[in-house]
Structure 1
């Protein structure tokens, strides 16, 4: 830790801490298929899918996606409506993630001659790829990333080493702890620790947590952790109805606004709470995301998928 930084410190023998975690992970961990590849395209797909979907459900979608579009070249050549439709059919969250993934594949083909950029900074040039995803792809595909800091990692560092609930402190601690040149295995390992042993309700002994001898929370019994954001319910959410709009327009090609409304929710009434104004708001969002076109030339707006 740098002088004058936050009031926390890693154990006196950080090498032992590192070896214990990597050994624990390599002995036994969840066998997700994207952990068996270093293909940056396959890893990017897994990272984008995992942003709003439980990992267990991502496996089937990830395998089906790559079977249909196994390379960036094939994804870039695909009809965007088909890619968005796949996203909707598999309940993978916001449809604009599918749009961005499609556009990123096009960038790889056109701007990088089909070869992925390898550093976090370059990867952020791809559409829809932010700092976290860029670093994850750099780590897992190229072993060339910084420490990944997600909710699980923050929880582990907060409990084990009293790192304060501060993003800068978490970044500093995570990068200080990560062994040089081992971002692939390290980031997988520490996220696995947070996901399997150091969950919101910890399972220290049951999961054989390798950090128990150093962990402040284990010693004190105080397993307080930073607040963990709760994913909003999908049922009845705006995300759900965005997906229904896309799915319905895939079936009907185009619809006037009221017939569309009646097909996406049973309580749709043109002048009601869930009526034209509500639906036009959803359509405007989808239009802004480049997923839907609204023809406003007639008396009644007509919606269609953007091709």
Structure 2
């Protein structure tokens, strides 16, 4: 099947000659792109750390945390040997979001050490068997570490394909078009480039001319001025959320080692009242969630519930 007939069968309106689209994007990316440090390495450990940290966190905020993390645990073997409480504490101190990510990253490092003899799987299927590594992250690590991934499809990529080529707002359609457009054997540069396009040119408010978008001559949105895009899920408000107080519990237990609920409560919430709305039952639910996630251990001792970080 020719390239032209192959693209004719794709959802949306992909150009008949995809090579022009491919070449334009790669040349644009290679001429100038944001120089994040994880783009300068092909170490799968360093790349996995960056991918996990980048989940729902702005990339500019990730840089310092990524560098600090690698200073402390420079190799996957160092992370595997670390106490989980230290890794979770680092995550909390650097405001990197859900502490489960730290737990999963730590467990993945132990899998590499214990199950793989320190050797990394090199393809998305193998990488997806690591704890907390879903299809997107597996593809990203396979691409950026081993140049052996499939097309990465995140919110930015969906927005680009929807606007540029009228791809329907359907996950299967996005996957099909993204995979068809990626040049064979070039997943590293292609996935970096298409995500960069979504990050600097085709944002929610596009900057087509300012960013010199390389796809303007083919782009439906640029031609029509209609820059609508699929809905983007919004992150729940952090202030006052259970996620915020879970983080405070971890930070406090890191400082005090262990605390009874009535000693822990006032340290994470100024309006804590043992019998109130935000009292023992509310706090017991928080530490129970953390215990289910294997981050905290909860004991009943002398009629009191005592929480401590799991080590």
TM-score (norm 1): 0.97
Report the alpha carbon displacement of residue 191 of structure 1 after superposing the two structures with TM.
Answer: 0.4
Whole-angstrom distance in 2 between the partners of 1:104 and 1:52:
20
Q: C-alpha deviations, 1:77-100, integer Å up to 9, x for none?
A: 111111110000000011111111
- 4+ aligned runs moved over 2 Å, structure 1: 1-7
Determine the structure 2 residue equivalent to 1:197.
201
Structure 2: distance between partners of 1:14 and 1:143: 20
Rounded Cα–Cα distance in structure 2 between residues aligned with 1:143 and 1:11: 25
Q: In the alignment, what sits opposite 2:306?
A: 302
1:47 lines up with 2:51 in the alignment? yes
- The SS at the match of 1:59 is helix
> Residues of 1 paired with 2:162 and 2:136: CA distance?
19
Which residue pairs with 2:154 in the alignment? 150
2:210 is equivalent to residue 206 of structure 1: yes
Q: CA deviation at 1:179?
A: 0.3
Question: Structure 1: where are the runs of 5+ without partners?
Answer: none
Question: Quick one: structure 1 residues 246 and 58, their matched pair in 2 at CA, closer, same or farther if it must change by over 3 Å?
Answer: same
On the 8 A contact 1:6/1:164 being kept in 2, the answer is: no
More deviation in 83-92 or 226-235? 226-235
Residue 40 of structure 2, aligned match among 31, 36, 41: 36
Shift in Å at residue 237 of structure 1?
1.7
Asked whether the 8 Å contact 2:10–2:176 carries over to 1, the reply is: no
1:169 pairs with one of 173, 178, 182: 173
1:15 counterpart residue number: 19
Counterpart residue number, 1:116 = 120
Cα distance, 1:265 vs structure 2 = 1.0
TM-score (norm. length: structure 2):
0.96
Shift of 1:9: 3.0
Contact 1:34–1:43 at 8 Å: present in 2 too? Answer: yes
Distance in 2 (CA, whole Å) between partners of 1:197 and 1:96 is: 32
Q: Deviations over 1:162-188 (max 9, x none)?
A: 000000000000000000000000000
What's the CA shift for 1:52? Answer: 2.5
**Aligned mates of 1:42, 1:4 — CA distance in 2:** 39
Mapped contact 1:179–1:186 kept (Cα < 8 A): yes
Counterpart of 2:182 (choices 134, 154, 178) is 178
Q: CA deviation at 1:4?
A: 9.9
How far 1:125 moved relative to its partner?
A: 1.1
CA RMSD after TM alignment = 1.4
1:66 to 70, 78, 81: 70
CA contact (8 A) 2:8 2:14 kept: no
Shift of residue 6, structure 1, vs aligned partner: 6.2
Cα distance change of structure 1 residues 146 and 7 upon mapping to structure 2, 3 Å threshold: closer
Q: How many residues align?
A: 307
The yes-or-no answer on 1:25 pairing with 2:26 is: no
Pair 1:241-2:231 in alignment: no
Partner SS, residue 152 of structure 2: coil
Q: Which moved more, 1:10-19 or 1:292-301?
A: 292-301
CA contact (8 A) 2:7 2:16 kept: no
Mapped contact 2:125–2:138 kept (Cα < 8 A): yes
CA drift at 1:298: 3.1
Which residue of structure 2 aligns with residue 95 of structure 1?
99
What's the CA shift for 1:233? 2.3
